[in-house]
Amino acid sequence: MHDPELLRTAWRRLLAVADDLAGRPVAPDLDEVDTVESYRHLASLVGHAVDMFVLSRPEAPVFVRAFNTDEPTERKYLGDNADTRYFYANVSDAHRYVIRGRRGDEVYLSFVLHAGHRTDSLQQLVASHINQQDLECDADGGFEIVLSPERPDGVANWMALPEGSASLLTREYHLDRSDARVARYTIERTDGPPAPLTAEGLAVAIEDASAFLDTAMGSLAPRPVPSNTIGEPFRFGGPLPGWGTPDNTYCGVSFELGPDEALDIEGLLVPCVYWNVQLWNRHMQSIGVPPHAASVNHAQLGLQPGDTWRVTVASRDPGTRPWIDTHGHARGTVYIRWLCATETPPTPTVTVRPIG
């Protein structure tokens, strides 16, 4: 006979964590826009935590929406990209899985397996991954990917499932999401059907959602870096933990601009399948939604490998193009991605200038 208080205790814990986080802003100097968005962000994060840990369990995984939805809405968290669809599934090395799907017209499709503490993205390492360059598909774009500790004979697409495997993240990049033909895929456990859901199992899942809420909000703590100063390009993978894909080269700068200031960013487009510059608010949510997203990619600018680029960030028209509108945000992050780059791009330059 199960304890009827078990689920109530887990549920109350989830609500208590959410309430506590509402009283702990990401920084003490939030303005009105930041404060309003902090509650929208927390509401989004609670919804995603339930999706990720209650609806998708290692013994019965499904791909749930992650970072943003499959439509361009404001339900975002932990550094989404306006041009990307993301999905998430919980997995475990105690089981075996297969992913079945069909490609769309995306320029990039990847599956990244992370190992480590299940509820702490900052402590998870890339364990294995596969992208569209290595994925073997049939004539119609159909594919299967086996996840197991050892590669079975005759399997075309395989991802290692080592000890400590915890989460699987998918990414699809589109140059124009307004007219995209998206990929479709499912995940299935192949080592036997899941046992019926129990109160004990569901309580653990709800507790995992609570723990994820706490660690996810902790990852938003401001970094001690000066504003309007860009960092060097970097990649996830190897010893660097986190949920970024190892196929991306990332680069970021925290912006802080007055109403009459603009930030010019200049760099080089090295050979890659995708590049963009976009803005996040102080909660690591992309600003705006397509077609009014604070983002621009290489196809929208008509850039080719070897081209130099210059993007201006400002709260009002700076008189130059391309202009990325901050949508009323005085502070935030500019994030740059070069996807599947064949070489490390040089560090871009940034300049703050007055708007006449």
SS3 label, residue 47: helix
How confident is the model at residue 65, as a pLDDT? 93
Spatial contact of 334 and 296, defined as CB atoms under 8 Å apart:
no
Sign of CA dihedral 216, 72, 27, 258: positive
Percentages of the chain per state (helix, strand, coil), in multiples of 5: 20, 30, 50
Task: Kindly tell me if the per-residue pLDDT of 1 is higher than 60.
Answer: no
pLDDT, residue 4, reads 77
State the pLDDT at residue 88.
97
Q: Give 69-128 pLDDT, tens digit per residue.
A: 777 788 899 999 999 999 999 999 999 999 999 999 999 999 999 999 999 988 899 999
Percent of the chain surpassing pLDDT 70: 99
Express each pLDDT in 165-200 by its tens digit.
999 999 999 999 888 999 999 999 999 998 889 999
Average pLDDT, whole number, for the chain? 94
pLDDT band at 2 (very low <50, low <70, confident <90, very high): low
Name the residue with higher pLDDT: 162 or 222.
162
% of the chain at pLDDT higher than 90: 85
Task: Indicate the SS3 state at residue 152.
Answer: coil
